[in-house]
Structure 1
Amino acid sequence: MKSRIDAVRKYIGENGIDGALITRKENLFYFTGSAPVLGGYLLITEDDARFYVPELEYEEARETARVEVEKFKKLTELYDVLKPLKSLGVEGSLSMSFGNSLREKAEIEELKFIDDVIKELRIIKTPEEIEVIEAACRIADQAMMVAIEEISEGKTEREIAAKMEYIMKTNGAEKVAFDTIIASGWRSALPHGIASDKRIEKGELVVVDEGALYRHYNSDMTRTIVVGSPNEKQKEIYEAVLEAQKRGVEEARPGITTKELDTIVRNVIEEYGYGDYFIHSTGHGVGLEIHEWPRVSQFDETELKPGMVITVEPGIYIPKFGGVRIEDTVLITEDGAKRLTKTDRELI
C-alpha cells in the first residue's frame, strides 16, 4: 500500500497539487486495504496519508486499513482538515455537488483530476492480485459447469442463474460480479440479456455470462450452449466466434495494442460475413471492477503489458434468430497470454 500511496504523492508533487482525496470504494480498498460499507476519504499529502471514516465504520477500518485511520461525525470536520490546502487532486467520478462543497466549505481553490496515475497503477496487477483473480475465475468455472449440467428444456433462465449463484457463494464468492446473464432463444441476441422467467426450449442457443466477486476482485466468462442438436447456421456462427476468440487469446501479448487486438478478432468475424453482427468491443480490463482499463476496442490504443488482466469476448447477435458469445478472463504474461477461466469452449 505504501508504494501505491508514494506514487500518488510523487504525482501530486510533480504537478503542483497540495494533496489528493480518494473517495471511490474500489480505490479506497486499493490504497488502504479497507472497504467500509459507507466508504470514507483517504487524504494523501506530501508528508501524510490518513483515512477518514464515519464513526460507526471506525473499528472495522482500524482493523483492516494499512494507513492511519481517524473517525468523524460530520463532514464539516473533514472540510476543516482540508482548508489549509489550496489545490486538491480528485477522481473524475467525483460528483458535482461534492466538488462544489469542497470549493465552498473546504475553501479549495482548484480541483485537478488524478485518474491518470490511479489508472496507471491499477492496470498492472501484482502477483497477489493475480492470485485472487485466479481464485475468482475458479469459482466462475465451477458455476459454469453447473449451468452446463442444469440447462435443459423447460427450465427457466432465472432458475439456472439461481443455482449458479448458490454455487458461487458456497465456494467463497462474496457475491456475483454482475447480474448473471442467461439468455435463451431469441434473447441470446441480447448482449445483456439478464436471466428472466423465460423457459428454455429445445434447439435454442443459450448464452451464459457470469462472474464471481472474491475478496474484492472479479472474474468474467461466457459460454454458449445449444439445447439438443445445433442446426447448420448455429454451427457456423459458433465456429466464427470460437475461431475469433481463440485467435484473440493467441495474439494477446506484450507490445500489441488493445486496438490491434480488437482488429484481429473483428477481422475473423468479418471473414465469416458476420461483421455487422459483432456490435461491441472485444474486451475490457478486469480487477477491482468488472469493467476497468484497458478497453480492448477501436477507441483505445493501450499497449498490453505483463500483469494486465483483460477479457477476450467476441460475439455475433442476429435479431430474432439468436446469438453466440465466448469469453475468457485472460492474464497477459511475459511472452503471451494465459486463460484464467478454463471451462471447455467447444460447442456443447
Structure 2
Amino acid sequence: MTQSRAGKLLYAAGEQCADLRYLSGLSTPDAYLWFEDQHGRQGVMVSALEYGRALKECRPGVEVIALSDLKSRFALSRKAKTTPEGQILALSRGLGIREWQVPVSFPFGLAQALQRRGLKLRPLAPFCPGRAVKTAAEIELLRAGVRLAEAGLARAEQVLQQSSIAPDGYVHWQGEVLLAETLRGEIDAEISRRGGIALGTITAPGVQGADPHQVGQGPVPAHQPLVIDIFPRCQSSGYHGDLTRTLVKGQASEPVRRAFAAVAEAQKKALAALEHCRCARTVHQLVVDYFAAQGYVTEYGQGLVPRGFFHSTGHGLGLEVHEAPGLNSRETQPLLPGHVVTVEPGLYYPEWGGIRLEDVVALRSDGCENLTRAPVYLEVR
C-alpha cells in the first residue's frame, strides 16, 4: 500500500480534542468520527442528536454524514453495525482505504479491533501541525481569551482592595478570613458571567506559590506573595487566554520585592527579544542567564526540592492551554509569524513562595504584539 492511499482518521470528543475541533469546527461532549480521504476530502459522522448542529457549525468543505444514513451511503447490509468500529470499517470499504494515519491518542481498544479486521493504523505526531500558526482571526479569538483572564484578575484585585489586614496576620474580606478557594471562586464566576469557562485557576498564597501549579488552598496571609494564574477558555470559540500576576496584600518583604523586580525585568528582556529573535531556545536562555547574573540559584532533580527558575519561559496558546511552540531549551523549530506564545518567567523559593508574571504575545513578520493589557505591580494597599 503506498502512502498516497492512506487517509487520516480521528475519533474523539470535540470538547476534549483540540485537533478535532480545529479540523471540523464542531465541539461535542461525545465522541464522533472525522476523516480525510486519500484525495483530501473531509467529512464527519455524527448521530441524529448532533446532525443539525453539525450542518451549521462544521467548517466549509467538511461533509456531514448522519449515522442513520451510513448503511445506505455505503451499501451495507441491515445487520452491519454502526459502532465506532463498524463506522470505520464501512468508511474504509466505501473509500477503498486500508491504511489510516491516526493521532497517538487514538483509542487503544478501537485500534486493536480495527487492526484485527485488517486495517493498518499509523501514528502521526503531531497530527495537525498547522494549528501552531494562527490566522489573524484566531489571534483575535485569543485576544478575547486574554480579556476574559483580565476580567478575572480585575475581580481578584477588587476583592483584595476591599479586604483588610487583621491582627491575626491574614487578609479578611466581608467579615471573614479570605480563603484561596473563595478568591478563586470570585475569579471563575466573573469569567463565567462573560461567557468563559475557567478550569484550574491558581490562587496560591504564601509558600504554596513555590510550587508553580499548586492551585492554592486555605487562608490568604497578608504581606506575602499571592500567585494568580488564570487560563480560561472562551465557550463560543474554544480558544484560551492565559495570564499570571503576583500580588501582595500589604507590604512585601525585601527578598520578595527584589525577586519581583528581577522577574519583571526578565519578562521585559524576553518580550524585547521576541521583537527580532526567532529562536525559542535563545529567548529562554536569555532569561536563565539573567536570573543567574542576578544571583538567583536554580536547583532541581536528584531529590532536591526545586528552587529558582526551573520551567519553560513560555508555551504556545490556542485551542489548548499548552501547545506548540515552546519557549524552552528543547524547542528545535524556529518561531514563525502567527505563533502565539506566553512569556512567563518566574522565581520560586520554598522559604517565601513564588513570583510569576505572564503575558501573551502574537509574533508577526515585523516583530510581535503583546495581547495583554493588565498592569504589572506588586502591592495592593
Measure, in 1, the Cα distance between the counterparts of 2:318 and 2:11: 18
The aligned residue for residue 304 of structure 2 is none
Indicate the residue corresponding to 1:9 in structure 2: none
Matches within 5 A, 1:135-284: 135-151=144-160, 152=163, 153=171, 154-173=177-196, 175-176=197-198, 178-196=199-217, 198-214=218-234, 215-253=237-275, 255-276=277-298, 277-284=308-315
Contact 2:5/2:38 (<8 A) preserved: no
The share of aligned pairs that are identical, in percent, is 28
CA contact (8 A) 1:38 1:54 kept: no
CA distance in 1, matches of 2:269, 2:297: 16
CA 1:99–1:255 in 2, change beyond 3 Å: closer, same or farther? Answer: farther
Give secondary structure in 2 for the equivalent of 1:219: coil
Please identify, of 206-215 and 271-280, the stretch whose mean Cα deviation from structure 2 is larger: 271-280
Q: Structure 2 CA distance, aligned partners of 1:79 and 1:161? A: 47
Where 1:223 maps in the other structure, the secondary structure is strand
Distance apart, 1:116 and its partner CA: 4.0
Question: Structure 2 counterpart of 1:209, which letter?
Answer: D
Per-residue CA deviation, residues 203-246 of structure 1 (Å, 9 max, x unaligned), is 11100000221120001110000120111111111111111111
Letter in 2 for 1:92: V
AA aligned to 2:9 is L
Matched, 1:113 2:101: no
Count, aligned residues: 330
Q: Give the secondary structure class of the aligned counterpart of 1:59.
A: helix
CA RMSD of aligned residues (A): 1.9
Cα distance in 2 for partners of 1:74, 1:220 equals 38
Unpaired segments ≥5 residues, structure 1: 1-11
For the residue of structure 2 that corresponds to 1:218, the secondary structure is: coil
- Report the residue type matching 2:65 in the other structure: E
Task: Give the stretch that moved more between structures: 267-276 or 222-231.
Answer: 267-276
Unaligned runs of 5+ in 2: 68-81, 164-170, 172-176, 299-307
Distance in 2, matches of 1:89 and 1:254, equals 37
Q: 1:295 aligns with which of 326, 332, 338?
A: 326
Which letter maps to 1:33? G
- 1:61 is aligned with what amino acid? A
Quick check: 1:254–1:303 contact (8 Å CA) kept in 2? no
SS of alignment partner, residue 4 of structure 2: coil
Rounded to whole Å, the distance in 1 between the matches of 2:323 and 2:208 is: 26
TM-score (norm 1): 0.90
Which shifted more, 16-25 or 147-156? 16-25
Task: Tell me the secondary structure at the aligned position of residue 281 of structure 1.
Answer: coil
Query: Are the structure 2 counterparts of residues 255 and 239 from structure 1 closer, same or farther at C-alpha, using a change threshold of 3 Å?
Result: closer
Written as runs of structure 1 = structure 2, the 5 A alignment for 1:5-154 is 15-24=3-12, 25-47=17-39, 48-66=41-59, 67-72=62-67, 73-75=82-84, 76-83=86-93, 84-105=96-117, 107-109=118-120, 111-116=121-126, 118-119=128-129, 121-151=130-160, 152=163, 153=171, 154=177
Q: Which residue of 1 aligns with 2:302?
A: none
- 2:75 is matched with none
1:255–1:186 CA distance, 2 compared to 1 (3 A): closer
Q: Whole-Å Cα distance in 2 between the matches of residues 339 and 65 of structure 1?
A: 31
1:312 aligns with 2:343: yes
Which structure shows the bigger proportion of residues in helix conformation? Answer: 1
Shift of 1:287: 0.1
- What TM-score do you get using the length of structure 2 for normalisation? 0.82
Residue pair 1:36, 1:60 contacting (<8 A) in 2 also? no
Deviates more, 1:317-326 or 1:54-63: 54-63
Structure of higher CA gyration radius: 2
Q: What's the offset of the Cα at 1:255?
A: 5.0
- Whole-Å separation in 1 of the counterparts to 2:286 and 2:215: 29
